[in-house]
Amino acid sequence: MGSDYLRYPHIHGNRVAFVAENDVWVASLDGGRAWRISALQLPARNPRFSPDGSTIAWTVVQGGAPEVVAADVEGGNFRRLTFWGHQSTRVKGFTSEGDVLATSAFRQEDSRLSWAYRVPLDGTASSVVPLGPVDTVVDGPALGDEKPVVIGSVLTREPAWWKRYRGGTAGKLWMDSDGRGDFVRFLPELDGNLSDPMWIAGRVAFLSDHEGHGNLYSADRSGGDLRRHTDHDQFYVRHASTDGTRIAFESAGELWYLPTLDADAIRLSVTLGSASTTRRPQPLAVERHLAAAVPTSDGSASIVEAHGTLHWLTHKDGPSRVVEATPGVRARLGRPIDRSRVAYIADVDGEEALYVRDVFAPADGEAAADQSEPTGRSEHAGSQHVGPEHAGPGRNGAELNGSESDGDGVQVLPAPVSALSLSDGPHRPYDDGASGGASDEASDTAPGGGDAGSRARLEQPDDGAAGPEAALVDAQSALPRSSLQRFTFEGRFRASAVAVSPDGSRIAVPSETGSLELLTVATGESRRVVSTEHGVIEAVTFSHDSAWLAWAEPMAQEGARSRIRLASASAPDEIIDVTDGRFRDWSPTFSRDGKYLAFLSDRSFDPVYDTHRFDLSFPASTKPHLVALAAGTPSPFGPRAALTGGDTDRNGGRGSSGAPGARGAAGSAGSEGRDGEEPPATVVVDPDLIMARTIAVPVAQGTYDDLRAVDGALLWTAGDIGGVTGEGRASSSDGEPARRLERFDLERRKVEVLAADIDAYEVSRDGATAVHMSSGKVTAIPTDGATDTDSPKRVEVGLQRIRVSLDPVRVWRQAFEEAWRLQRDFYWTEDMAGVDWHGVRERYLPLVDRLGSHDDLVDVLWELHGELGTSHAYVAPALVGEAGGHQGFLGAEFAPARDGWAVTRIFEAESSDPLAASPLSAPGVAVRAGDVIEAIDGVPVPARFGPSVLLTGAAGVAVELTVRPGDGKERRRVAVVPLRSEERLRYQNWVAANRAIVQRASDGRFGYLHIPDMVANGWGQLHRDLDRETTRDALVIDVRRNRGGHTSQLVAELIGRRVTAWSMPRGETPGTYPAHAPRGPVVVLTDEFAGSDGDIITQVVKLRGIGPVIGTRTWGGVIGIDGRFKLADGTGVNQPRYGFHVTGGVGWSIENYGVDPDIEVPFPPHAYAAGEDPQLEHGVGILREMLAEIPTDVPPLKQGYPSRKPGSLPPRPQDLRD
């Protein structure tokens, strides 16, 4: 079947325009075949007919951001109308004069606060609609001299994406009933999320969910006679638009229209009139989607993970071989077991399970020459073969269709769930008449529930395409009948790691829910070693003799503390605590000689003084440590007694022969290693007093991670200590500080760098090879020392040898299923707060097969998450854009002038913020207001369009400006580097303007501080002027527009300080104790855009009595997230995981409501139009009143202190001589 997920309708005459498959289409209102208006294949939004119906304007991604474009309805004349370079840009309609009405925050200090602009169709300069932040503006029918206007307030997200939202930014309608500029709330009594206002038949129509479901309503212009016009209770009515007499909308990807307000809605039956390109199989771009590379035991190859597929790829040459690439299946955490088998996690049947596959099993009918019998249930090798589509729910050991189960949670699936890539050998697709083929024996239920029909649809080639592309994709799940084992675990399960014992007999699988499972491959027996409620177990490792298992187990939320634990692989119930959980201990690894267990620990308490405030911190408190496992094992860094003759230590190793940590002698006599390798040293563990045998590795404290032991050395990653925001880097264009792969030689006690810039690395089982990833590339290097970049020992692995195709439709289905499962398993309360989550899946699943683009998938995932009615249920796809750079900005405003465009304003730089400086103010440039930009890179600035059209793709790139000075001096040429965004520059100017308002209104007595968020950026902004502003008599603290984060507890402690003493030096200004304590009364400003941690700081201010809160009710979203999970293509999907309960009688009430201010002061549209800030003005007025009653703390006079002058020396007592 083809795609028919249709969005953003608008009607004119007998035509409807809409978006499908990342393009704009037009069809007849009578239905039938649509024709394509655009062919850009980039996310498009909001097509709107011009008033005469000849033109369509819409937004589409251009150069990394949506821009306003237009084209003729009859075809051709495509033109780009804006060069705003901002993600917020949206088309909203047309003005009566024929200009496009668009909204964008490209000229604002906050990217959420979109203003409306009139954009002429000829591309000439746009003009602002001066009504402040809006989602839309609609003019009503004139009644005499009265010209009513309705404004829809800015929405933080679509109503369908947070259903039943009631917080501070819930959509509001404002009406100016006569067009004179004074706005009042329209229908303020409706407790819902109102959006998409429209004038129709003298009434105001709009969308609202005040009755619990998103539907279409209307009211007369006075707000009376409220009517509901639709009755959708399964999916929200969305994206409503009108031509003045009729209304079009979408729901669940279907188009509807309402002929009149008195009629029933009619669903449009539209088909797309061209072959879909977005649903065709696409080659996998491995470098773009590279997720992991894990070397095999001898380091000659790696298991490469990319976009949910796994591949066995030799390092130097040869073809790749697919481990798993079944369409519609995500595989991850691939780990080699031996020279032919791989263990991995996959969701073949809609739930995750552990699989073991022999990658080099012979093809059907081929001899198994030179192939060792894999460990496991080989007696099932002759069983019936079935494809992955036969696998039913099969969870927790349930039997799969056509497979056998041994009752211990293991199923042997001779059927392939692997894939055939183009570089595999001459394998033929699976076709066995005895089994009836895949389509004949589909299971009764789809993976994880659902109907068989939906699963069957998923497995069929798209649009009936039975050509080579579809055949290739299907062949990827039709490999030879190799033995494949499947292991399941009890309860909800998502693996956080996979660790394979060196002998391949056991696999340890920790889960995201805090359990650690230990599986015996041969029998399928699984034992739960431990389970914790404190978080996720991630780091698990086996000793090199496969006898011991070690892991890091969290002891407090968010990994604040963790302990290293140890257990025998054969008797895992007997757990040994290697550390006690007082500190954060992690990344355990056994030394190659079996004598030590190494780990990383944050137990260095050598603080660093802060340079901006009186504070101490521990920015790099990590050090590697060793634990001597046997009581008689000495420290490798301490003195040793000489051994005589044949003396050996308890581990069987020569006491001082070889480097410490090098592989020792064999364990028991006569033992042999696998494949002729030297047998591993036997590990001996003495549990008594094991914690006392902890040894610090002699290196400086630092930011170490990812510890691994190799022969005679330890490997780890390390990086320089740097800031979080990046403002402290040498240049604002510098990237994140690189992590280094370092090697510490245990004998020489020296550190050397093996790789200078890596993202992650893994070590082969023999310890000789490290494979690291960096910027989508994979490199194999030896671990015995540093190598030159041109050394033959350093191998750049050719990822281009991995060639496999992805079927978008089945990829989208898997992504949907995984996103649904993640919410099911990790939403903060198991009962899903009363939402029937399984029922939600059944409702939404049929939509997935109708999708026409990844953008459609993102839309469905957003609406799926919206069913939770909870904050922070985000979907974050990678930004999509065409080739080329980002729009450049000059940090200034312009107006047309003779032979160019004149600079009307240059935004003043903030010297402490490298992102807040206009290129025109750079040294040597010295452009001033009044100067004219005549040309850019020698091209004259178009008189109609301005300089922005010549700055396309210029962000971060040097350009030449030809400048004619306004004072008549000779024109000159200067080089500048345009900004990618002016937001920070405009923000710093907004803060400075607010501070100036406060100081003018208080004669310099009041201070002003703005906190834009509760992460590192906001913490830095708070401290920019903290010292100066807290010395004033009173203080305005502004948390409006606060984006949230996690630092509210730090901010609350700082702004809640009270002066309790004074430091009184001679010749210097007295200082407060504690430092930076406000000296007088405080007021706090908040608004509907203060959310998450912005909600919390507002509530804490009220609870602690820091000062009165002034403004409007906050956003109302406090259920926290950790951003832990991504889908196979890198799309981020957040699960609200951390419920938030506040003391003082507040309870759970902040979520989906917000925090009420003590003094409510709205910010109506006409205040923006007048350039006023009623909230700031009111705050200053309240401070004046408070200051009259609460005097400012001032230092005492230097009087009244005790005199230290000694008294007169009294006479000695009279000598008694007689």
Q: CA–CA separation, 119 vs 59, rounded Å?
A: 12
CA distances 766 to 568, 662, 743, 763, 1038, Å, are: 22, 12, 16, 8, 58
- Residue 200: in which H helix or E strand, if any? strand 195-200
**What is the rounded CA–CA span in Å between residue 1127 and residue 1081?**
49
Instruction: Exactly one of 872, 886, 1076, 1166 is catalytic; name it.
Output: 872
Give the other-Cβ count within 10 Å of 177's Cβ: 18
Could you give the C-alpha distances from 1169 to 107, 996, 1172, in angstroms and in order? 15, 20, 8
Relative orientation angle of helices 854-866 and 808-826, to the nearest 10 degrees = 20
What is the torsional sign of CA 876, 882, 885, 888?
negative
Helix (H) or strand (E) segment spanning residue 779? strand 777-782
Q: Is 923 exposed, middle or buried (0-12, 13-18, 19+ CB in 10 A)?
A: exposed
The DSSP-derived string for 1051-1098 is: HHHHHT----EEE--TTS--EEESTT--SS-EEEEE-TT--THHHHHH
Annotated catalytic residue within 177, 772, 1092, 1166: 1092
d(CA 1102, CA 739): 43
Buried b (16+ CB within 10 A) or exposed e, 542-555: bbbbbbbbbbbbbb
Is 558 part of the annotated catalytic residue set? no
d(CA 254, CA 339): 52
Measured N-to-C along each axis, helices 1016-1024 and 1048-1055 cross at an angle, to the nearest 10 degrees, of: 20
Are 1109 and 1157 within 8 A, CB to CB? yes
| 872 in active site | yes
Q: Tell me how far apart the alpha carbons of residues 1169 and 1164 are, in angstroms, rounded to a whole number.
A: 9
> What DSSP string describes 893-925?
EEEEETTEEEEEEEPPP-TT-TTS--GGGSTTT
Give the Cα separation of 630 and 687 in Å (integer): 8
In the numeric block, which tokens belong to residue 825?
A: 């398993």
Separation of alpha carbons 1200 and 1206, rounded Å? 17
Angle 189-190-193 from CA coordinates, rounded to 5°: 135
Distance (Å, whole) CA 992 – CA 809: 51
3-state secondary structure 521-572: CCCCCEEEEEECCCCCCCCEEECCCCCEEEEEEECCHHHCCEEEEEEECCCC
Please give the structure tokens belonging to residue 444.
């009764």
Place of tokens 């210097």: 1068
Neighbours of 304 (CB within 10 A): 26
CA angle at 467 for the pair 463 and 469, rounded to the nearest 5°: 90
The three state secondary structure string of 979-1037 is ECCCHHHHHHHHHHHHHHHHHHHHCCCEEEEECCCECHHHHHHHHHCHHHHCCCCEEEE
- Nearest-5° Cα angle at 924, 922 to 929: 65
Active site residue: 389, 459, 1029, 1151, which one? Answer: 1151
Considering only CA atoms, which of 1051, 1020, 1009, 994 is closest in space to residue 914?
1020
Q: How far is residue 784 from each of residues 267, 316, 673, 752, measured CA to CA in Å?
A: 69, 19, 22, 10
Q: What DSSP element (H or E) covers 742?
A: strand 739-745
For residue 133, the 8-state DSSP code is S
Give catalytic residue positions.
872, 1092, 1151
